[in-house]
Amino acid sequence: MTRILGIESTCDETGVAIVDDGHRIVANKVLSQIPLHERFGGVVPEIASRAHVECITTVIESTLAEAGTPIRAGTPPPIDAIAVAYRPGLVGSLLVGVTTAKCLALAWDLPLIGVDHIHAHVYAATMGQEEDARDAPEHDIEDLLPAVSLVVSGGHTSLYLTKRWTSHELLGATTDDAVGEAFDKVASILGLGYPGGPAISRVAENGNRKAVAFKRSLMSGDSLDFSFSGIKTAVLYHTRGQNAQRDAPIRPEISIPDVAASFEETVVSLLVDKLARALRREGGSTAIVGGGVAANRRLRTLLDRLADKQGYRILYPPPALCTDNAAMIAGLGYWLLEEGKVSDLTLDADPVVAR
């Protein structure tokens, strides 16, 4: 059995988890900073990194205690390696996790594993299943590949061809905003608060998905790239008037639930269509969807419908493993360790998305 302690601090969640053999979650703690950022309508990098510094050691202590192995002076806990998300993300936030991981690896004399946060969002779809499935032999999850993977989060919207859990070939990506960012900005335009994804979904339940025909930006030909900045502006002009500024009042005849539902439908159906396009192009039968937006219920409904209609197998994580967490970091860390992809103490935070 290989037990890995994972650390996640790429953005505004401080996560620490302990995972056995890449799939059995022993403890998984996420401390969200949402209350610190919500009045700004988005993540403030300087506030995020300070908050990580303030809480990371406490979260590590409480996660180890929950696993039944509290930290005792002079005795390293029964952990086989330290995995940390070192890219991509906000540089100040990443640095807190990476520096902490290096200190633990040095103090406890353990291997250090640098994990790509986006690859971990894909891997999360293999985790958090029912007890029986979780304890399935490891080779089962290798049988899921190759797959087409879609990562949809606050910072990323990318399609990959995944041949191994540790390497992904980019098929397409957003040319402007990430889809989660579009949810957050549209929620702010509609006065629905932060984070925007869950807020829009909640309100959309009482709206008509066909009320407003927002234009879908499919991009040229059979492109697998995405664009979400147009729809954000379309929502602004629809609700507040053509060429209106963000602070103009919402027109009285506007139904917020209808706009929220129409926006959500336009965006999630576009994601599903692009995923289907990628599967057709790559000739694949398995798709994996991860990242915060994968928690969206309407997206899951449309994905299940696509799976039923076309016979595809489409996997996504349980909602708690869609948004940022350290279980996915420790989980993927296991496979990197298996492949000997261990880092040394020169591991550095890398804020840029790897292509």
Residue ranges binding Zn ion (CB under 5 A): 153, 324
Q: Rounded to the nearest whole angstrom, what is the least distance from the CB of residue 110 to ligand KG4 in the complex?
A: 26
Specify the residue, 64 or 199, whose C-beta has the smaller distance to ligand KG4.
199
N-term to C-term CA, the chain: 33
- Residue 8 as a binder of ligand KG4 (CB under 6 A): the answer is no
Residue 172 binds which entry of Zn ion, ligand KG4, none, CB below 5-8 Å type-dependent: none
Q: Is the dihedral of CA 119, 276, 238, 205 positive or negative?
A: negative
| From candidates 197, 207, 317, 333, binder to ligand KG4 by CB under 6 A | 197
3-state secondary structure the chain: CCEEEEEECCCCEEEEEEEECCCEEEEEEEEECHHHHHHHCCCCHHHHHHHHHHHHHHHHHHHHHHCCCCCECCECCCCCEEEEEEECCCHHHHHHHHHHHHHHHHHHCCCEEEEEHHHHHHHHHHCCCCHHHHCCCCHHHHCCCCEEEEEECCCCEEEEEEEECCEEEEEEEECCCCHHHHHHHHHHHCCCCCCHHHHHHHHHCCCCCCCCCCCCCCCCCCCCCECCHHHHHHHHHHHHCCCCCCCCCCCCCCCHHHHHHHHHHHHHHHHHHHHHHHHHHHCCCEEEEECHHHHCHHHHHHHHHHHHHHCCEEECCCHHHHCCCCHHHHHHHHHHHHCCCCECCCCCCCCCCCC
| From candidates 60, 295, 326, 330, binder to ligand KG4 by CB under 6 A | 295
Total binding residues for ligand KG4 by CB under 6 A? 20
Stretch that binds ligand KG4, among 1-9, 127-135, 167-175, 287-295 (CB under 6 A): 287-295
Q: Rounded to the nearest whole angstrom, what is the least distance from the CB of residue 236 to ligand KG4 in the complex?
A: 18
- Residue 33 as a binder of ligand KG4 (CB under 6 A): the answer is no
- Residue 183 as a binder of ligand KG4 (CB under 6 A): the answer is yes
Specify the residue, 93 or 188, whose C-beta has the smaller distance to Zn ion.
93
Q: Residues 140-179 vs ligand KG4: string with x where CB under 6 A?
A: -------------xxx------------------------
- Residue 201 as a binder of ligand KG4 (CB under 6 A): the answer is yes
Specify the residue, 177 or 225, whose C-beta has the smaller distance to ligand KG4.
177
Specify the residue, 114 or 198, whose C-beta has the smaller distance to ligand KG4.
198
Query: Across the chain, which distance is largest between two alpha carbons, in Å?
Result: 67
Q: Rounded to the nearest whole angstrom, what is the least distance from the CB of residue 198 to ligand KG4 in the complex?
A: 5
| From candidates 195, 207, 331, 333, binder to ligand KG4 by CB under 6 A | 195
Q: Rounded to the nearest whole angstrom, what is the least distance from the CB of residue 324 to ligand KG4 in the complex?
A: 4
Specify the residue, 18 or 328, whose C-beta has the smaller distance to Zn ion.
328
119-166-106 Cα angle (round to 5): 90
Q: Rounded to the nearest whole angstrom, what is the least distance from the CB of residue 78 to ligand KG4 in the complex?
A: 30
- Residue 189 as a binder of ligand KG4 (CB under 6 A): the answer is no
- Site residues (CB under 6 A) for ligand KG4? 11, 153-155, 180-181, 183-184, 195-198, 201, 291-293, 295-296, 323-324
